[in-house]
A and B are shown apart, each in its own frame.
Chain A
Amino acid sequence: MRAAWKRAWRARIGVESTVMENPRNEPQAAAPHAGPAVEVIGLHKWYGDFHALRDINLTVARGERIVICGPSGGGKSTVLRCINRLEDWQQGRIVVDGIELTDDPKHIVAVRRDVGMVFQHFNLFPHLTVLENCTLAPIWVRRMSKKDAEELAMRYLARVKIPEQAEKYPARLSGGQQQRVAIARALCMSPTIMLFDEPTSALDPEMVKEVLDTMVELANDGITMLVVSHEMGFARQVADRVILMDEGQIVEINAPKAFFDSPQHERTRLFLRQVLR
């Protein structure tokens, strides 16, 4: 009843078409912010006495695709996790979609609604089916009806090519399938920015490709992407810029061609020698 009434209302005010194309289904977030997608300004972070992030400055334009690589412990994941405030920092500013991340929970939630994240270990909710994993946030954060949320979820599950697994529990899926579900789950919130934290590192070699293919497809759609990854092929193929981080600092930011063919910094050359061999 209520859903029918809502549909009729939407049709009357003329938003039905946008609802179909743009699953965001939320008027207040309709107009994207005009400035850069992400701005990180003078960021410093310490774990106790350990200076984990040192003077990070980065501006990511809307639609830009960035790959961050570097040795482990270099602070790549930490930067990423600061952008949706899973990590706190002590100095500096981060502005996402025009919203400054402060301690204000309202700002934090507003940013998280707009920023999707995919984790190394998928972190699917094991007590929910694949479909429920995908509809949870749209229903409870976006306030969508269950029916709309399920429609939306099925569309994204189809996009990551596993609609037939919707009723299964995550434990029954392979690693690659789980990661694709995780991507679909993030996409269901219609984020404008996607963060990928080593999305293929925990996968069996044979499953890396299916996840990377999904990501390449996403990249072609023009969503803003920040990817921490060691997949150099992916970086070369999709990235607009590649960043090397080491010891908590940004060592080099370069276009992929220049980054791989003529790296400027000695550390980058060393890193690439180790990785590419």
Chain B
Amino acid sequence: MARAADGFYLRAAPAERRPPPAARAGAIGWLRANLFSSPGNVALTLVCAIFIAWTAAHVLRFFVLDAVWSGADREACLASPANPEPGACWAFVRVWLSYFVYGFYPIGARWRVDLFFLALAFGIAWLAWLAAPRRDIGAFYFFIVLPILSFFLLSGAPLIGLSAVPTSLWGGILVTIVVATVGIVASLPLGIVLAFGRRSDIAVVKFFSVTFIEFVRGVPMITVLFMASVMLPLFVPERFTPDKLLRALIGVALFASAYMAEVVRGGLAAVPRGQYEAAQALGLPYWRMTALVILPQALRVTLPNIVNTFIGLFKDTTLVFVVGIFDFLRTIEAARVDPHWATPVTSVTGYAFAAVFYFLCCYAMSRYARGVETRLARAHRR
């Protein structure tokens, strides 16, 4: 193409279309571009590599190479000529594992807990797998069948031969999972209701919602748990006094829903006014508009924050120990002071085990949310 000297131009033939220039491909290209692009970058890479290698070596030595995998009591995990600097005492976790999972749940009835875990995992998988068949039945199963089934499985139904197990005997991962699941499942709808309450035109509804949200957010979780545990019995007749675990569940659900309400409110505020107007102009009544047009968009933009709240809630379940409930972390606390296993590494091992459990659960939630986000975003990209 010739450039005209006078600044005017007339294209004679279309400019040819070409593929983009090939990027520097391969692992080496990537390393060059990302890790070794400049002297400063090279130095930073080296420092980080040394630090990672040093940490990883220690972790590997302590938790794997020098770790004690089996044994009957503390002797196995103490320093010995064969293992002068013993690592993590996994033997301790193995021996106590059933306590970590079931608490004091009667040994003969523990198959019921296993069945509950299975039923829950099945329900979660059904709902979480977006392409699963009949997800409506899945939702029905998860939100209606599963709670009823779990209730009778776990607390017992003497009529059909399942012995009653008082919640004071529940413990460990069982309690953590129950509290977290109930909290997560209850907090989202409650939070949505509160968020709409806060935006409501009806003064009483608005006042109540704002008061609730601000009050619950303004006090520590432990306070809410204490209040649910101590004050709730004051408001209801003695014979209706809810079970201790139930009180904690209510506390956790209320606490989480206040946070959820603020998260959802942020999402609702992000939906443009034109969306409301278009829905109204089509004649959709308020609740239809909300359910079909506004909420789906609001929840989509807040998905990362919702999962963030879920993760926070999952970890906050450890606080139920303050009202005397034996959640997973509390069972580890109780076990690590067992004189039969008193060694310098017992506590570290117990906490490491807890850390791995919480990390796996939270990371799974986080990854899943990322997946859903990308999936939803794909539909909306140009």
Check B381 against A109 for contact (C-beta < 8 Å).
no
Check B297 against A186 for contact (C-beta < 8 Å).
no
With A119-B274, A123-B278, A140-B292 already in contact, the answer to whether A169 and B284 are too (CB < 8 A) is no
Q: Which of B280, B292, B381 contacts A112 (CB 8 A)?
A: B280
Considering only CB atoms, which chain B residue lies closest to A115 in the complex? B281
A68-98 CB contact bits vs B (8 Å, 1 = yes)?
Answer: 0000000000000000101000000000000
A contact patch SS: mixed
Cβ of B276 to closest chain A Cβ, rounded Å: 9
| A141 lies within 8 A of chain B by Cβ | yes
With A123-B274, A126-B380, A169-B379 already in contact, the answer to whether A185 and B285 are too (CB < 8 A) is no
Check B282 against A189 for contact (C-beta < 8 Å).
yes
Q: How far is the CA of A219 from the CA of B286 in the complex (A)?
A: 31
Give residues of chain B (261-311) contacting chain A, Cβ–Cβ below 8 Å. Answer: 272, 274-275, 277-285, 288, 292-293, 296-297, 300
B355-382 CB contact bits vs A (8 Å, 1 = yes)?
Answer: 0000000000000000000000001111
| A209 lies within 8 A of chain B by Cβ | no
A124-135 CB contact bits vs B (8 Å, 1 = yes)?
Answer: 111100000000
Give residues of chain A (97-135) contacting chain B, Cβ–Cβ below 8 Å. Answer: 105, 109, 112-113, 115-117, 119, 121, 123-127
Check B288 against A140 for contact (C-beta < 8 Å).
yes
Q: How far is the CA of A112 from the CA of B275 in the complex (A)?
A: 15
With A137-B284, A171-B381 already in contact, the answer to whether A127 and B277 are too (CB < 8 A) is no
A54-80 CB contact bits vs B (8 Å, 1 = yes)?
Answer: 000000000000000000000000000
Task: Determine the interface band of chain A, counting residues with CB < 8 A from chain B.
Answer: 20 to 34
Q: How far is the CA of A113 from the CA of B278 in the complex (A)?
A: 12
Check A125 against B293 for contact (C-beta < 8 Å).
yes
Q: How far is the CA of A127 from the CA of B375 in the complex (A)?
A: 12
Instruction: Point out the residues of chain B lying under 8 angstroms from A185, CB to CB.
Output: 282
Residues of B within 8 A of A (CB): 272, 274-275, 277-285, 288, 292-293, 296-297, 300, 379-382
| A-B contact list, 13 entries, CB within 8 Å | A112-B280, A119-B277, A119-B278, A125-B275, A126-B297, A127-B297, A127-B379, A136-B282, A136-B292, A140-B288, A169-B379, A189-B282, A189-B283
